[in-house]
Structures are given as C-alpha cells and as structure tokens.
Amino acid sequence: MITADPLTFITLAPIALGMALLILPQVLPTSMAEYMQRIARPLSMGLALAIFAITTMLFLGQIGAIDWLNILQGEYVFQNTPVVLLEEIGVRWVVGVDALSFPMVWLTAMLIPVSMLVEWDAKKGHIFHPLILIMEGALVGVFVALDLFVFFVF
C-alpha cells in the first residue's frame, strides 16, 4: 500500500495512530492502558521516523525530475488516483505534491521527530506525542490536498 500511494499513507497513518494511542488507554483495562501509555512515545517516534524516511526516499528519487525554476500550476510530482468521497457535492480524496509543496512536506516530516525528541521527557508524553502525530498528519494534509473540501477539513 505504501508504494502504491505514499501520500495517503503519510497523511492518514499519523492521524490514525495518534487517535488510537489517545483512545485505546481510555477504553482498555487498567493494566493494558498503562502498557499503552508506556509504548505511546516509542510508537509515535517510530512512525514519525518512518514517515521521514519515506518522504526522504521520495524526495531523493524525484529531486532531479523537478523543474525548480519553472513551477507551473497543475504539474504534480506525485498524485494519487482520485477516490470519490461524497459524489453528491463532488468531494474527492485527491492528494499530490508539486515543486512548492514537496519541500514543505519533507520539512514537516523532518521537524516532527526533532520536536518529539526535544520533548521526549514531557510530563504527559503519552498524550503529547500522539497529539504531535495528529498534527503531523494535518500539516501534511494541508500541503498535499488538491480538493478544496479536503483542504478545509485539514
């Protein structure tokens, strides 16, 4: 799935894991909840580093193909196949990156693990780190959204 549509993965995976790490300790028994709180930081950092690795590989694979001086609207380095979400009003899940948004996605993916590392010993890290993951997904979503409705959701 990652190789088929990496932009969807780097957008939705942090949101999904962040939400799971926030919700599961609330609904699980106490012993499992404490375990989830202990592994929230390493899981969050692991996914953030994986997303950084994926975006770096994508960036290095396409850096020579991008015409940095001639940025034309509508020419995307990566773009997924549009998926219809709400046909009645024309909402589609379509994401892509061009020469302007690609560096922004990479910088976001780079800064999130750094910010997690800086606040590694946060008092409520089991809440802070999943929230940072959700923020990463939202930031990447803003940079890759090509549908106006999806852009406003992020």
Q: For the chain, how many residues are written?
A: 154
Number of domains comprising the chain: 1
From the list 141, 137, 3, 100, the residue with the least C-alpha distance to 61 is: 3
Q: Is residue 100 one of the residues assigned to a domain? A: yes
3-state SS class at 151: helix
Enumerate the β-bridge partners of residue 145: 95
Angle, to 10 degrees, between the axis of helix 125-144 and the axis of helix 101-118? Answer: 170
What stretch of H or E contains 85?
strand 83-86
| 10-residue mean pLDDT series, the chain (154 residues) | 73 92 81 78 92 90 68 66 81 84 91 91 83 94 88 85
Q: Is residue 1 one of the residues assigned to a domain? A: no
Q: How many CA atoms lie within 13 A of 21 on its CB side?
A: 27
pLDDT of the residue at 127: 82
Amino acid 45 reads M
> Mean pLDDT in the chain?
83
* 1-22 per-position pLDDT tens digit: 444 688 889 999 999 999 998 8
- Domain carrying residue 139: 6-153
- Residue where the block lists tokens 């509508």: 74
**Interior angle at CA 4, CA 105 and CA 116, nearest 5:** 35
**What is the reported pTM?**
0.83
Burial 118-147 (b: 16+ CB within 10 A, else e): eeeeeeebbebbbebbbbbbbbbbbbbbbb
C-alpha 54/C-alpha 130 separation (Å) is 19
Q: Is residue 78 one of the residues assigned to a domain? A: yes
Enumerate the β-bridge partners of residue 95: 145
